[in-house]
Amino acid sequence: MRLEVSGPVRLPPACPGLRVGLYGGSFNPAHLGHRHVSRVALRRLGLDRIWWMVTPGNPLKDRTNLASIDARVAAAQAIAAHPRITVTAFESRIGAQYTRQSLRYLTARHPSVRFVWIMGADSLATFHRWAGFREIAATMPIAIIDRPGFTLKGPAARAAHALGRWRIDESDADLLPDLDPPAWVFLHGPRSHLSSTALRAKG
C-alpha cells in the first residue's frame, strides 16, 4: 500500500549511529506505565533516545472513545517529562495505517540509525494478528517489556514461537540495537499495572 504524505513531515532529530527505541501506541491516554516501559528500555538496551509514536488509531481496537491526536500528543508530552523521550505523531502525516508502513518509512529516511521496536508483553500475545508481523521483525530488532499477566503468555504466543530462533538472552539485551534483524529479547523486571483501558474505564 502506497503512503500518501500530507504536508511536511517532521521527525525527531537523529544522526547516524544513534540508538533509538520506537514505542508506538494510541496513548489513549498516556500514563506512567508508558514512562516505566521507556525507562526500562533506555537502561537495559543502552538506548540514546525513545520516540513515542502516537498513532492515528489501532486497527485491532475500537476507536469509539479515541481522543483527538492533538490531545493525546499533548498528554503524552506531559507524562513523558524526560529529556530522552520525544513524542511524535508523524504517522498521521504519512497516512500510515499499519506499523510496518511506519517502520519502512523511518528506515528509509534514517538508514544509519539503530532503531529498536519496543512493545509490552501483552502486545506480543497478539502480535501474530498484526499486518505483516514477520516484516516488522525483519525490519528492526524488537524488545519486549514484561507486563502483569503476560510473563508466561507472551513468550508462549504464536508470534513468539514463530520468531523463537531469533530470541537472544536477556543478559545480552544491550547488544540488541546493534544486531541485524530479526532479533528480539524479552525483558523481565518490575512491572507496571497501569493501562489506558483501565484509566478510561475510571473516567
Tell me how far apart the alpha carbons of residues 43 and 185 are, in angstroms, rounded to a whole number: 14
Q: What is the pLDDT of residue 199?
A: 42
What is the arrangement of strands in the sheet containing 49-54, beginning at the earlier edge strand? 85-88, 49-54, 19-25, 114-120, 142-145, 184-187
Q: What is the pTM of this model?
A: 0.91
C-alpha cell at 74: 499533548
pLDDT digits over 120-153, tens only? Answer: 999 999 999 999 999 999 999 999 999 999 999 9
Q: What is the pLDDT of residue 189?
A: 81
- Report yes or no: 141 and 172 within 8 Å, Cβ to Cβ: no
C-alpha cell at 48: 540514546
Tell me how far apart the alpha carbons of residues 61 and 68 are, in angstroms, rounded to a whole number: 15
| pLDDT less than 70: residues of the chain | 1-2, 4, 6-7, 60, 62-64, 191-203
